[in-house]
Amino acid sequence: MFNEFEFEYKMQKILEREFHDTVTQIDNSLYLQYTAMKWKYVKTAKRTVIFPFGEITIERKCYKKGNEYIYPLDNYLNLEKYCRYSNGFLYMVATLSTKMSYREVVNTLKIMKGIYITKDTVLKSVKMATKLYKQKEDYDYYQEEILEKKKEVKVLYIEGDGVMLKTKTNDRLRTDITHYIVHEGKEIEYGNRFKLINKKEFIAIKNSEAKEKLIQYIDQHYKFTKEGCLITNSDMGVGYSAYVFREIAKVFNIRHEHFWDKYHLYKEIELLLMRLEEEELITLLKESIQLHKKKRSIAVLETIESLIEDENYLNQIQSFKRKLIKNFYYTKEPHLRGIEESCIGIIESQHCKITNRMKNRKMYWSINGVETMAKMIIDSNSDELWTLFMGEWRKEYRKTQEKYLAASFYLKDFKQNSTIQNAKYFPATQWLKS
């Protein structure tokens, strides 16, 4: 009987031999390059690394120049110092961790790849992502990338909401993660299925940080026409009021239309009035809001108030009524404002990517871990997670860091030898931002 697993094992061994032959050729080629640059060959050392295709022991040459030692093959393969895992393998582990628990990642790699790791390895990949996000942010800052031509748009859509997740800290057991989404509208993907055009998402623990990144992104990529309009949608909660989005619109000096998210509004009504067991009144209130009949909506709420004897519950109803009256304009349906309805109200469905992995399980997250995992989940649905682990920016970042380090050493030496005793010196990371 044909044994498919045995066949796969044989193919794996062929792949390993091919990989060994390839890296040996590369290492020999690097020998010629580095000896030509006056590097002295010292020794050949072994190193065991887990790649996406298995655990491989490679041999690579070591060189010396002055007091510096290097392994060129390690640099060629983008292997981090003292790390048993390749960047590609860590990317694979990180991607799996956005879909399943750490324990399930371990079992999946064991079954699918025959690679044995522990939950600590999965955690290592997440911590690596945390480090890379910080480095990528610094890299993007110093790049000061300016697009030659910003995309001109008439309409831009923004939605924002928070995701409450369990965290294990001394001061709090839950942390609210800010989630903003910006897009240009929708287009047909295939059949009756639509997708958002140039969707970009922003995740952060601090609302102000996410909002700042959102504004920066819009400023770098878009230019509004004279008739330009910013269309926003939210649940009107703290940090996501119409005022917050109006301030964003003011930055770009464009017209603004805000909506009270229909899903969240109706859900709030249902939760608030479920005690009454008056389905007709709940339906009537929803219909009044949908038709944008303010007086009729108030009349329904006043009728509900007359049925309540509990003072605390009555206060809740009255509080909601005041909120509804104050923000009633934002309940006006999109089609009544000449806006395509299907382009808004997408925030909750986008939340599902995060909540399905992080909220609907009996688990707690660290403060750093909760933000990183949320970002990874968002980025795993695009090429951004691949770019984070495998992108060319990492090589450029190393070069940039070497340049800044050299500048720091120069400043330190200058300070020590300066005759100006009271001069104030700043670290390179500070003066480069000024």
Confidence band for 364, pLDDT divided at 50, 70 and 90: confident
CA distance 77 to 70: 13
What are the residues whose beta carbons fall under 8 Å from the beta carbon of 426, sequence distance 6 or more? Answer: none
What are the residues whose beta carbons fall under 8 Å from the beta carbon of 279, sequence distance 6 or more? Answer: none
Strands (E) in 129-278, as ranges, are 151-166, 174-183, 186-190, 193-196, 200-204, 222-234, 255-260
Give pLDDT tens digits for 129-169: 999 999 998 888 766 555 567 899 999 999 999 988 888 86
Give pLDDT tens digits for 292-338: 999 999 999 999 999 998 999 999 999 999 999 999 999 999 988 88
Closest CA to 192 of 342, 42, 92, 318: 342
Give pLDDT tens digits for 23-64: 999 999 999 999 999 999 999 999 999 999 889 999 999 999
> Which DSSP category does 85 fall into?
B
> Which 3 state secondary structure label does DSSP give 412?
helix
Q: Residue 232 pairs with which residues in a beta bridge? A: 158, 258
Residues 186, 172 contacting (CB under 8 angstroms) = no
CA distance 357 to 374: 9
Residues 246, 221 contacting (CB under 8 angstroms) = no
Q: What's the farthest any 2 CA atoms get from each other in the chain?
A: 92
To the nearest 5 percent, what fractions of the chain are helix, strand and coil? 55, 20, 25
Burial zone of 227 (CB within 10 Å; 0-12 exposed, 13-18 middle, 19+ buried): exposed
Closest CA to 96 of 111, 80, 83, 74: 111
> Which DSSP category does 335 fall into?
G
